[in-house]
């Protein structure tokens, strides 16, 4: 038997939550690839299962425990199967996971997955492994990314952690303080991605516009440097904080053609009283004036936001203020959630509002958001816009891509157009997407 075949093991990763976890899962797969692992989409055939978890949404830990329970029969059928929990739930509850779930072999936090090879060796020897250390910058430890062929879009983490300490958020406790990667390392990784076939890169960070790494003067300057890479057609970034929207970054939206006209800029509430209770350190008026400056720089930009409904103490008037801000901005898309307490955060100590009230408010806000989203989609009909095709659609001869405004676009096109940017005439809208035809 071939020695390499003997060493090949299969790795299944389930990724929860944000784009940064998608990036982390890719890097974990690459790290374990050096130990002989290849990825699989089937947990039942895996030699190792990793759950890369998120702690942001409601009942995040319970969902992880539920998934671990579903893995128990696989472990019973194959005692050699190794099961690991990674990500933010692992960081927050690593010891509890190990106590409650004997089937778990390893727990690794989001700043420690560069140590996975040593942890894997430990669990293969029959011992359990836990690493939730914040002390080492993992990016200085990770090896260069392999140059395997990639799809046309990719995520690239440039900043991690948060120093804002919003009252509702666990990120400072699970991801640590703000850390920015050096510009030369980011540019080198981006260059490698482009050489592997990537046309569009999304820069990631918990507060990505707080990036302050060596070698560039803020995120706007970093975007300009990345824009010089031949073959890189599009640049995006997410998620931003209003307080870190520097003048140079706003100017980059006007001056850099490769920087796409879409910006996710969470506001969370339209009430100054609630914003103060959330420790957001900005007012609704400051947010609105910021939006004016951004639109002055790039009038066609599509904006999206996050909203938390029913934060402790939110009155009817506070909620009406949120509806008013949402109406005044006219977001092209937004994400809204009922408040749910995250253990260990300041807001978790405050009395919560009745669930029925949260449900009613969320329905009203989401109805307004959907109307704005539909209006944004409808405004595209009749326009001819560039679309980066990413993959085949469900219908024969159909491709799916994205506009510069992050709208999903369906059009009949040859398969050879995947990873190409084509001009598409938008003909119609459907739920969350646009339909068009190649422009002649």
Model confidence pLDDT, tens digit, residues 373-400: 999 999 999 999 999 999 999 999 999 9
Is 280's pLDDT higher than 90?
A: yes
* 129-135 mean pLDDT: 83
Final residue in a domain of this structure, among 138, 170, 200? 138
* Residue with the two structure tokens 């260990």: 344
- Angle at alpha carbon of residue 71, lines to 67 and 76, rounded to 5°: 155
Identify whether residues 71 and 166 lie together within a single domain.
Answer: no
Residue 236's CATH number: 3.80.30.20
Instruction: Of 359, 324, 437, 265, give the one whose Cα is nearest residue 58.
Output: 359
* 279-301 mean pLDDT: 98
Annotated ligand binding at 169? The verdict is yes
Is 2's pLDDT higher than 90?
A: no
Final residue in a domain of this structure, among 94, 110, 138? 138
Residue 426's CATH number: 2.40.50
Q: At what angle do helices 60-77 and 88-100 cross, to 10 degrees?
A: 50
Q: Is 372 contained in some domain?
A: no
Q: What's the rounded Cα separation, in Å, for the pair 265 and 298?
A: 15
3-state secondary structure at position 234: strand
**What residues have CB less than 8 Å from 43, skipping those under 6 apart?**
12, 14, 49, 71, 74
Single pTM value for the model: 0.88
**327 lies in which domain range?**
148-358
More confident site: 265 or 175: 265
Please say whether the beta carbons of 175 and 111 come within 8 A. yes
**What residues have CB less than 8 Å from 197, skipping those under 6 apart?**
149, 150, 151, 152, 419
Annotated ligand binding at 326? The verdict is no
Residue 34's CATH number: 3.40.50.12160
Q: Is 290 contained in some domain?
A: yes
Identify whether residues 22 and 88 lie together within a single domain.
Answer: yes
137-146, 215-224, 428-437 — which is least confidently predicted? 137-146
Identify whether residues 352 and 407 lie together within a single domain.
Answer: no
Q: What's the rounded Cα separation, in Å, for the pair 88 and 241?
A: 20
* 200-222 mean pLDDT: 97
424, burial (CB in 10 Å: exposed 0-12, middle 13-18, buried 19+): buried
Q: What's the rounded Cα separation, in Å, for the pair 161 and 173?
A: 9
Identify whether residues 195 and 286 lie together within a single domain.
Answer: yes
Q: What's the rounded Cα separation, in Å, for the pair 7 and 140?
A: 27
Q: How many domains does the chain have?
A: 3
Final residue in a domain of this structure, among 76, 111, 138? 138
Please say whether the beta carbons of 161 and 177 come within 8 A. yes
Annotated ligand binding at 166? The verdict is yes
Q: What's the rounded Cα separation, in Å, for the pair 434 and 374?
A: 10
């Amino acid at each position: 038997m071939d020695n390499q075949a003997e060493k090949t093991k299969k790795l299944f990763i389930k990724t929860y939550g944000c784009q940064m976890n998608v990036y982390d899962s890719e890097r974990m797969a690459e790290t374990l690839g050096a130990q002989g692992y290849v990825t699989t989409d089937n947990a039942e055939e895996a030699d190792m299962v990793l759950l890369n978890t998120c702690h942001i949404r409601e009942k995040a830990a319970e969902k992880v425990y539920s998934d671990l329970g579903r893995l128990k029969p696989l472990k019973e059928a194959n005692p050699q199967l190794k099961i690991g929990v990674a990500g933010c739930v692992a960081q927050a509850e690593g010891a509890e996971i190990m106590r409650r779930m004997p089937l778990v072999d390893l727990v690794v936090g989001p700043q420690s997955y560069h140590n996975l090879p040593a942890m894997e060796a430990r669990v293969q020897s029959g011992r359990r492994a836990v690493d939730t250390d914040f002390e080492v910058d993992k990016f200085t430890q990770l090896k260069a990314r392999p140059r395997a062929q990639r799809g046309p879009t990719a995520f690239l983490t440039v900043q991690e952690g948060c120093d804002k300490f919003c009252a509702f958020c666990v990120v400072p406790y699970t991801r640590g303080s703000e850390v920015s990667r050096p510009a030369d390392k980011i540019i080198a990784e981006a260059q490698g991605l482009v050489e592997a076939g990537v046309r569009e890169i999304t820069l990631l960070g918990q507060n990505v516009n707080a990036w302050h790494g060596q070698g560039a003067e803020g995120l706007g300057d970093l975007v300009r440097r990345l824009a010089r890479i031949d073959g890189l057609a599009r640049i995006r970034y997410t998620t931003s904080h209003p307080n870190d929207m520097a003048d140079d970054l706003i100017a980059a939206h006007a001056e850099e053609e490769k920087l796409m006209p879409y910006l996710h800029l969470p506001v969370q509430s339209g009430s100054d009283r609630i914003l103060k209770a959330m420790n957001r350190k900005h007012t609704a008026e400051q947010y609105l004036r910021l939006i004016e400056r951004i639109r002055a720089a790039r009038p066609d930009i599509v904006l999206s936001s996050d909203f938390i409904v029913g934060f402790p103490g939110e009155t009817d008037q506070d909620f009406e203020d949120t509806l008013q801000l949402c109406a005044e901005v006219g977001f092209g898309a937004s994400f809204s959630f009922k408040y749910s307490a995250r253990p260990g955060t300041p807001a978790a100590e405050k009395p919560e509002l009745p669930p029925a009230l949260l449900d009613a408010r969320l329905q009203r806000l989401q109805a307004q958001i959907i109307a704005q989203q539909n209006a944004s989609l409808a405004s595209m009909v009749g326009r001819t816009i560039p679309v980066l095709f990413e993959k085949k659609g469900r219908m024969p001869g159909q491709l799916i891509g994205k506009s510069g405004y992050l709208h999903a676009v369906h059009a009949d096109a040859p398969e050879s157009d995947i990873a190409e940017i084509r001009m598409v005439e938008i003909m119609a809208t459907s739920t969350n997407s646009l339909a068009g035809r190649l422009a002649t």
